[in-house]
Amino acid sequence: MAGLFEVPHLISRIKISVLHLKRFLPIDTIIDIINLIVTAIDDMALEVVIEGVEDSDLIKDLPTSWRQQSFYYSSPVNVEPITF
C-alpha cells in the first residue's frame, strides 16, 4: 500500500467487492475486513464503493456514506439503445 499513498491525487474512489469473501467468511469478519481497509485509506478522503452486498445484515452495518452496488437494490437492467 505504500505506493497507493504516493499518488492520492490520481485516485478518487476505492471499490471493494465482497462477492468472493461471502463464499467463505461470516458477515462479521467481512465487516471487520472492510473497516480495516477503509481505516487504512481514510485520510485520503476517497469515495468508497462496496460491491456485492446482498443481505440486510451486512448493509445495516456499513456506513451510509459508502456507495453500494448490489442486487439487494436492483437486478441489472437493460439500457435502451439510443437512436438518432
β-bridge mates for residue 17, sequence order:
51
Say how far apart CA 55 and CA 70 lie, in whole Å. 9
Say how far apart CA 34 and CA 17 lie, in whole Å. 9
In the chain, what are the domain boundaries? 12-69
pLDDT tens digit sequence for 22-69 = 888 988 898 888 888 878 777 777 777 777 777 777 777 777 666 666
Hey, what amino acid is at 3? G
pTM of the predicted protein model:
0.52
Instruction: At 3, list the grid cell.
Output: 505506493
Hey, what amino acid is at 31? I
β-bridge mates for residue 50, sequence order:
16, 68
Residue 60's pLDDT is: 74
